[in-house]
A and B are shown apart, each in its own frame.
Chain A
Amino acid sequence: MKVSPLANYFAEQGRRLAHTLPGSSIDSVAQLRTNALARFALTGLPRMTDEQWRYTNIRPLERHQFELSQSSSSNPNGVDISEWRLSNADTYRAVFLNGWFSSELSDLVNLPDTVSILSLAEILESTENGDTHTFEFALQELQSMSSNAEHGFTALGAGFTADGAVVQLGSGVTLDKPLEILFLSQDDADTRFCNVNNFIHAGKGARFQLIERYLSLGNTNHLTNSSFMFNLEADAQVDHYRIQNESESAFHIGSAKTRQKDSSRYRIFSISLGALLNRHEVIQSLDGENAHCELKGLYIGKGNQHIDNYTTIAHESADATSEEFYKGVLDDRARSVFHGRIKVAPGAQHTDAQQQNRNLLLSRNAEADTKPQLEIYADDVKCSHGATIGQLDESAVFYLRSRGLTEQQARTMLTDAFAAEIVNDIELEAVRTEVSNLVQQKLSSDNSIREAA
């Protein structure tokens, strides 16, 4: 198979940098990277001929020579974190600057003993006198990531293993405050490549809220390749809020991959606002009976943005339920892709799976592609899916104008209302307020109506 010049470039860079990366002197870590890079060299980067990437062309990436960002001191440019952290929220906070953990910007004091939040780079560097249990956990997750890589970006992610958050919650723990993981990309260089791998283990009955945020400090064209892998033991509950609001010149590839045991619950809000090219994958495996997951998403595209949400929910056991609801607003020449795969394994009786995707096109040149894909191998199941692509209801626009609102105000009100259906479901108030503000900023062509009402 012919491998693209960009893939060759990354493979070569990976080999060149391998000895500089955390844990490179440890055989198992070095071997992991070598294997992942070898896999990457074989598969290359995804192409549009791959069914899972049919509507997403990553060629724009090839115009840039992305360089893995180097770890440096904890806060080299004096970033003021108060400007960037989630406002009005009391959280535990782990901050990654250009893909590397910054202890100076983080706030993880007073964590309960039963919870650990560590930097992957530190774990890989400190095995000799460190916590072998955590090292083994991280290594095992990295190996699983590498050997189950769905595509080149995952293999690349393992091959460039650098930093990320490793979170472990003991059985029965309820974390008293949300954990905010903030990924900041600085504006002092272009073509930075930030590669982060995050592993989260929630013990039996553990509960916590996670806020995953991506921000760029300037209009740079960096590449973020970020993966999250969750393991939820029985009865664990995770609420996951993800806000991707990077620079509109950036490239962003992200994923959340979760395995759920009996009666566990995982809920995610995936909010995609930034990046020129954005792909977010949510891959659920409902391994245990009675497991429940909810995937909600909101994406807003303007200009030339391309937003791809790829989701898979595998019902592997009986009595599990899933709800999926993604909405998107597309203006200008923006494009979106929604792929919703639901697989019901043989024997996964009483599965209840619901999926909906709704798209609002505000411009003639915007485009939405939506692709539900149901594979059902059990007979006693309830599965439903629906997808719509439409425009604002002109009779509603007239109705509002007949009440004295200008045409622009009417359109703003109706578009806000479309997005609000997802935003209003966000339970965590600080996140809901933040998302609501970001969405309004992004959609704002006329703020007067929001002020008047």
Chain B
Amino acid sequence: MLSIVDLNVQIEDKNILDGISLEVAAGEVHAVMGPNGSGKSTLANVITGKVEEVARGSVIFNGMDLLDLDPEERAREGIFLAFQHPIEIPGVNNIYLIKAAVNAMRKHRGEPELDAIDFLKVVRDKMKLLEINESFLYRSVNEGFSGGEKKRNEILQMMMLEPKLAVMDETDSGLDIDALKIVSKGVNSLADAGRSSIIITHFPRILEYIVPDHVHVLVGGRIVRSGDKNLAHELEKYGYTWVVEDTAAAVA
């Protein structure tokens, strides 16, 4: 589904991503872990189109060169980013944005727009799962939302847009354990053989609820180690220093 080959990103002469290669097959969950400043968010932003400073490499999604597409084209092809810091948009109702987004996708797929009643029914079901109050819909997008509410709102949008590839950028940060469980339930409700996700996180905790098929450790813009879900447990035990030192030792 997603094939990243030798991706290099330079911003102001600094190598932020330094030769990343990553294969995500349909139905797989990948976790990308790493310390602050390792390039995790940049990776997410290259996939969704926010970062354009690609010096070398390719990002192919279902046969399309993603780097040739505008952010909205990528979204319409089924890529979704759950933002680390969701943007507040005063004056735009949450429901208005979600409806406009859903209908933009449907139009792209040649499907008729959802009528108001069907739309409300669907969105209410998802909100129930995420334990979100109805008033949420009529508030301005993320304005005055708590950190946890913002993250739930991202997942609500994701559930409504049903992406093929969901990239979650530190969705777990700032969530307490109950909220984390709820958000994970939302993410898992989308899981099927045709959908994939990339979970970007510092902490292994979220991976107990959303179980990854593959775990990658990103340090200094490189994937220094990949493994299965057990790698996350080792990281929890020994920390990132262990991976870095271990890798350095191996290289030496």
Contacts and interface: CB of A to CB of B under 8 A. Distances in A.
B157 A403 contact: yes
A413 B104 contact: no
A418 interface: yes
Interface stretch (B26-34, B93-101, B190-198): B93-101
B35 interface: no
A453 B103 contact: yes
Interface string A271-285: 000000000000000
B212 to A, nearest CB: 23
Contacts of A417: 89-92, 140
A409 B70 CA distance: 14
B85 to A, nearest CB: 9
A395 interface: yes
Interface in A397-432: 398-407, 409, 413-414, 416-418, 420-421
A400 B94 CA distance: 12
Given A395-B87, A417-B91, A452-B113, A400 B97 contact: yes
Contact of B87 (A396, A404, A405): A396
A375 interface: no
B91 A399 contact: no
Given A417-B89, A417-B91, A402 B100 contact: no
Contact of A404 (B86, B89, B104): B104
A80 interface: no
Given A395-B87, A396-B87, A398-B50, A405 B92 contact: no
Chain B residues touching A, majority SS: helix
A404 B107 CA distance: 10
Contacts of B48: 402
Contacts of B96: 413, 453
B70 A404 contact: no
A405 B86 contact: no
Given A404-B101, A404-B104, A452-B100, A396 B89 contact: yes
Contact of B104 (A398, A405, A420, A421): A405
A51 interface: no
B49 interface: yes
Contacts of B157: 403
Contact of B105 (A395, A404, A414): A404
Contacts, number: 85
A447 B11 CA distance: 36
A421 B76 contact: no
Chain A residues touching B, majority SS: helix
A123 B36 CA distance: 79
Interface residues of A, number: 24
A152 B131 CA distance: 64
A118 to B, nearest CB: 42
Most chain B CB within a 10 A radius of its CB, from A404, A416, A420 = A404
B251 to A, nearest CB: 37
Contacts of A131: none
Contacts of A395: 87
Interface string B23-60: 00000000000000000000000001110000000000
Most chain A CB within a 10 A radius of its CB, from B74, B89, B100 = B100
Interface residues of B, number: 33
B91 A420 contact: yes
B71 A401 contact: yes
Most chain A CB within a 10 A radius of its CB, from B48, B71, B99 = B71
A417 B90 CA distance: 7
B116 to A, nearest CB: 10
A452 B107 contact: yes
Contacts of A401: 49, 70-72, 75
A405 B50 contact: no
A432 to B, nearest CB: 15
A449 interface: yes
B217 interface: no
Most chain B CB within a 10 A radius of its CB, from A403, A407, A418 = A403
A421 B92 contact: no
A406 B91 contact: no
A367 B103 CA distance: 36
A393 interface: yes
A449 B140 CA distance: 17
Contacts of A406: 70, 72, 104
Contacts of B49: 401-402
Interface string B123-167: 000000000000000001000000000000000010001000000
A406 B74 CA distance: 11
A148 B49 CA distance: 61
B187 interface: no
A403 B70 contact: no
Contacts of A407: 70, 72
Given A405-B101, A452-B103, A414 B71 contact: no
A392 to B, nearest CB: 11
A399 B99 contact: no
A399 B105 CA distance: 15
Given A404-B101, A409-B100, A399 B87 contact: yes
Contacts of B83: 399, 402
B162 to A, nearest CB: 12
B205 interface: no
B71 A452 contact: no
A393 B107 CA distance: 26
Contacts of B70: 401, 406-407
Contact of A418 (B91, B97, B107): B91
Given A401-B49, A414-B92, A452-B107, 20 more contacts: A393-B87, A393-B89, A395-B87, A399-B89, A402-B71, A402-B75, A402-B80, A403-B97, A403-B104, A404-B104, A404-B108, A413-B96, A414-B89, A417-B89, A417-B140, A421-B90, A452-B99, A452-B100, A452-B113, A453-B96
Interface of B: 48-50, 70-72, 74-76, 80-81, 83, 86-92, 96-97, 99-101, 103-105, 107-108, 113, 140, 157, 161
23 contacts: A395-B87, A398-B87, A400-B97, A402-B48, A402-B83, A404-B104, A404-B105, A404-B108, A405-B100, A406-B70, A406-B104, A407-B72, A409-B104, A414-B89, A414-B91, A414-B92, A416-B91, A421-B91, A452-B100, A452-B103, A453-B97, A453-B100, A453-B103
In the A-B complex, list the 9 residue pairs whose CB atoms are closest, starting with the nearest.
A417-B91, A453-B100, A403-B101, A404-B104, A404-B75, A399-B87, A452-B103, A401-B71, A401-B72
